Amino acid sequence: MNDSHYCPHTPQEISEMLSAIGVSSVEELFAPIPAELRAKTFNIPPGMSEFETFDRMRAIAGDNTQAMTSFIGGGFYDHIIPAVVDHLSGRAEFYTAYTPYQPECSQGTLQALFEYQTAICRLTGLDVSNASLYDGGTACAEAAMMALRVTGRSKIIVDGCVSPFSRQVLKTYFYNLDVEIVEIAPLDGQLNRDELVRMLDDSVAAVLVQNPNFFGSIEDFTALADQVHGVGALLVASVYPIALGLLKSPAEMGVDIAVGDGQSLGNPLSFGGPSFGFIAARKSFIRNMPGRIIGETVDRNGKRGYVLTLQAREQHIKRHRATSNICSNQGLCALRGLIFLSAVGKEGLADMARLNRDKAEYAKSRLAEIPGVTVLQSAPTFNEFTVFLPKPAAGVVAELLKLGIAAGVPLGDFYENSDQALIVTVTEKRSKKEIDTLVKELEVALCN
- Per-residue pLDDT tens over the stretch 127-139: 999 999 999 999 9
From residue 448, give the alpha-carbon distance in Å to each of 393, 395, 397, 444. 14, 11, 13, 6
Which stretch of 114-123, 158-167, 299-308, 390-399 has the lowest confidence by average pLDDT?
299-308
Task: From 136, 102, 109, select the one nearest 332 (Cα to Cα).
Answer: 109
The CATH code that applies to domain 83-341 is: 3.40.640.10
Task: Provide the 10 A C-beta neighbour count for residue 36.
Answer: 5
Model-level pTM?
0.86
CATH architecture, range 69-79+347-447: Alpha-Beta Complex (3.90)
Domain locations in the chain? 11-59, 69-79+347-447, 83-341
| Residue 269, pLDDT above cutoff 80 | yes
CA 101 to chain centre: 27
Q: Is the pLDDT of residue 314 over 60?
A: no
Q: How far apart are CA 409 and CA 76, in angstroms?
A: 11
Residues in contact with 423: Cβ distance below 8 Å, sequence separation at least 6, in sequence order:
73, 74, 214, 215, 216, 384, 385, 386, 408, 409, 411
- What's residue 101's pLDDT? 78
Q: Are 193 and 186 in contact (CB under 8 A)?
A: no
What is d(CA 179, CA 177) in angstroms, rounded to the nearest whole number? Answer: 5
pLDDT at residue 4, as a whole number? 43
Q: Is the pLDDT of residue 317 over 80?
A: no
Please state the rounded mean pLDDT for residues 352-359: 98
Residues 170-222: tens digit of each pLDDT:
999 999 999 999 999 999 999 999 999 999 999 999 999 999 999 999 999 99
- Give which of 189, 169, 186, 183 is closest to 423, Cα–Cα: 189
Residues 6+ apart with CB under 8 A from 424: 71, 73, 363, 367, 384, 385, 386, 387, 407, 408, 438
- Bridge partners (DSSP) of residue 128 are 281
In this chain, the answer to whether the domains covering 69-79+347-447 and 83-341 adopt an identical fold is no
